[in-house]
């Protein structure tokens, strides 16, 4: 035993790399596939409900349960094999059965999922599919005849895959029973594990395609609303440049548009980000199949380029446009806010200048009033002092008029000094 201490997650993380082996399938065989998703807030769904739903199905066949807390499971279920996976937004069930029905893509193959069990599904069907796996004979005409009978010619995609080890085909349409059909013709020398890997790749392509397409309706809704907001924004920016409206009113409207765009961006960011991730997985899974053209038909890659990629470009363009409009509105609002601030500063400066002028006028008026107050107070003070001093002055032979004249400068100076001292104490 090595003396070094292992990281507590070493074995857990290493085992995770080997936790989802590909199923080992015999040929011929068929599979029924089901992907379930909560319509809203699927990331925060009750995963215990998903597990309980799985256990309900397993108990009907007396099958073994997965380990507690497991997010994937592969095991036998009667004469079938089941593969269950819990993803961040959805849950998938794939049930494999040896042999194929005489009727290709018989809806009865999906009856392995009981009706009452389907009714209790914690979510809605995102997609479902039927897969038929047969041996690949050397006669391409026979395969062509089967594909013509099984699929709608318009949209049919087929190709040789994995270095001519198999032929895969699908029209990616929902048939009358509600399922997407996939056909796989494999070489007799193909291993069961390789067959299982190809089948799983097909189910992953369909599931990730369906998940990524969920953003398309949202993108179309946003395009309509963004067209309206873009027209309003263009008009407001034009008015801002022309100065036809009061800046504060224009700023209020700009901030309203900016708030709505931020809200739309926040509501759509998670879905758009997930769409980019799922679209990348679709491309990756197709690349792993190493396609070659079969009998002149379009390949899966070409089908996606013509039908699927435009939808993804619409979503991507919508996300880019929404981000650009949000940034554009924010820039316009910042410019207008600066203009409003400058105008307010100018108004404040004018207001301060007016206040200074009024203060100067008040000061002048105050000084004028102080001068008048000195005169008025001195007038009465001279009279009072004259009455007090006159009896003394009469003995000195000083007339009343002369006494008043002598007292007036002294009283005026005393009153002026007293008023000035009082004003300084107040200030």
Q: Is residue 81 part of a domain?
A: yes
Residue 91 lies in a domain: yes
Residue 2 covered by a domain? no
Tens of pLDDT, residues 119-177:
999 999 999 999 999 998 777 888 999 999 999 998 899 999 999 999 999 999 999 99
115-137 burial code (b ≥16 CB/10 A, e <16): eeebeebbbeebbbbbbbbbebe
Please compute the mean of the pLDDT values over residues 366-377 and round it to a whole number. 69
Q: Kindly state the DSSP code that residue 174 receives in the 8-state scheme.
A: B
Residues 263 and 287 placed together within one structural domain of the fold: yes
Q: What is the pLDDT of residues 178-215, one digit of tens each?
A: 999 999 999 998 999 999 999 999 999 999 999 999 99
Residue corresponding to tokens 């008026």:
365
CB 233 within 8 A of CB 322: no
- Look at the chain and report how many structural domains it folds into: 3
Asked whether residue 283 is domain-assigned, the answer is yes
Q: What is the pTM of this model?
A: 0.78
For residue range 227-236, what is the model confidence (pLDDT) as tens digits? 898 888 888 7
More confident residue, 374 or 311: 311
Q: Residues near 383 by Cβ (< 8 Å), separated by ≥ 6? A: none
Residues 68 and 36 in one domain: yes
* Cβ proximity of 134 and 27 under 8 Å: yes
User: Is residue 359 one of the residues assigned to a domain?
Assistant: no
Residues 145 and 93 in one domain: yes
What is the pLDDT confidence band of residue 304, given thresholds at 50, 70 and 90? very high
Position 113 in a domain: yes
Alpha helices in 243-308 (DSSP H): 247-288, 300-303
341 in a structural domain: yes
Select from 293, 325, 351 the last residue of a domain. Answer: 351
**CA 333 – CA 250 distance, rounded (Å):** 9
**140 and 39 belong to one structural domain:** yes
Domain end, chosen from 317, 351, 385, is at 351
Is 277 a member of any domain? yes
Tell me how far apart the alpha carbons of residues 128 and 110 are, in angstroms, rounded to a whole number: 9
Q: Are residues 139 and 260 in the same domain?
A: no
Give the chain's length: 427
The radius of gyration computed from the CA coordinates of the chain, to the nearest angstrom, equals 45
> Can you read off the two tokens belonging to residue 24?
């080992």
For residues 250 and 341, membership in a common domain is answered with yes
Same domain, 47 and 185: yes
Q: Are residues 66 and 170 in the same domain?
A: yes
In the chain, the percentage of residues whose pLDDT exceeds 90 is 56
Domain boundary among 165, 195, 225: 195
In this structure, are 291 and 392 located in the same domain? no
Q: Are residues 174 and 227 in the same domain?
A: no
Residues 67 and 172 in one domain: yes
Collapsing DSSP to helix, strand or coil, 412 comes out as: helix
Residues 232, 329: one domain?
yes
- CB atoms < 10 A from the CB of 418, how many? 13
What CATH number does residue 279 fall under?
A: 1.20.58
CB 183 within 8 A of CB 147: yes
Nearest to 221 by CA among 187, 160, 253, 267: 267
pLDDT tens digits, 12-40: 888 777 777 788 999 999 999 999 999 99
pLDDT score of 380 more than 90: no
User: CA-based angle 153:108:32, to the nearest 5?
Assistant: 70
Q: What is the largest CA-CA distance in the chain?
A: 158
Q: What is the separation, in whole angstroms, between the first and last Cα of the chain?
A: 90
Domain span holding position 173:
21-195
Mean model confidence pLDDT for the chain: 87
Alpha-carbon torsion angle 43, 49, 54, 58, nearest 10? 170
The residue to which tokens 């369909």 are assigned: 206
pLDDT at 400: 67
- 144/183 Cα distance (integer angstroms): 12
Residue owning tokens 């650009």: 324
């Amino acid at each position: 035993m090595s003396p070094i201490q292992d990281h507590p997650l070493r074995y857990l993380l290493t085992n995770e790399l080997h936790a989802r082996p590909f199923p080992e399938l015999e040929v011929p065989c068929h599979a029924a596939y089901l992907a379930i998703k909560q319509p809203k807030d699927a990331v925060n769904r009750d995963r215990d409900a998903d597990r309980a739903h799985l256990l309900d199905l397993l108990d009907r066949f007396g099958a073994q349960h997965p380990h507690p807390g497991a997010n994937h499971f592969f095991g036998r279920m009667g004469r079938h094999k089941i593969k269950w996976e819990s993803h961040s937004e959805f849950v998938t069930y794939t049930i494999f059965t040896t042999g194929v029905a005489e009727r290709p893509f018989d809806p009865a193959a999906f009856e392995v999922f009981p009706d009452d069990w389907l009714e209790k599904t914690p979510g809605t069907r995102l997609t479902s599919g039927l897969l038929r796996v047969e041996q690949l004979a050397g006669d391409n005409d026979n395969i062509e005849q089967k594909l013509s009978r099984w699929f709608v010619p318009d949209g049919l995609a087929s190709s040789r895959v994995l270095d001519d080890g198999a032929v895969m085909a699908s029209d990616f349409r929902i048939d009358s029973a509600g399922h997407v059909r996939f056909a796989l013709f494999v070489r007799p020398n193909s291993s069961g594990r390789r067959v299982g890997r190809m089948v799983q790749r097909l189910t992953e392509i369909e599931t990730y395609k369906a998940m990524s397409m969920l953003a398309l309706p949202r993108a179309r809704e946003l395009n309509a609303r963004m067209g309206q907001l873009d027209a309003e924004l263009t008009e407001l920016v034009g008015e801002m440049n022309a100065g036809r409206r009061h800046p504060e009113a224009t700023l209020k409207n700009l901030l309203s548009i900016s708030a709505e765009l931020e809200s739309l961006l926040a509501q759509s960011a998670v879905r758009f980000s997930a769409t980019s991730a799922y679209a990348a997985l679709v491309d990756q899974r197709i690349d792993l199949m190493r396609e070659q053209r079969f009998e002149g038909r379009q390949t899966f890659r070409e089908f996606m380029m013509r039908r699927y990629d435009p939808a993804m470009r619409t979503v991507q363009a919508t996300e880019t446009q929404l981000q650009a409009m949000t940034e554009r509105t924010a820039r316009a609002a910042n410019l207008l806010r600066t203009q409003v601030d400058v105008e307010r500063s100018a108004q404040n400066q004018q207001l301060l200048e007016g206040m200074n002028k009024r203060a100067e006028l008040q000061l002048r008026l105050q000084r004028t009033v102080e001068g008048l107050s000195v005169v008025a107070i001195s007038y009465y003070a001279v009279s009072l002092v004259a009455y007090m001093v006159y009896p003394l002055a009469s003995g000195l032979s000083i007339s009343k008029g002369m006494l008043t004249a002598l007292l007036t400068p002294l009283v005026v100076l005393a009153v002026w000094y007293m008023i000035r001292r009082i004003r300084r104490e107040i200030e």
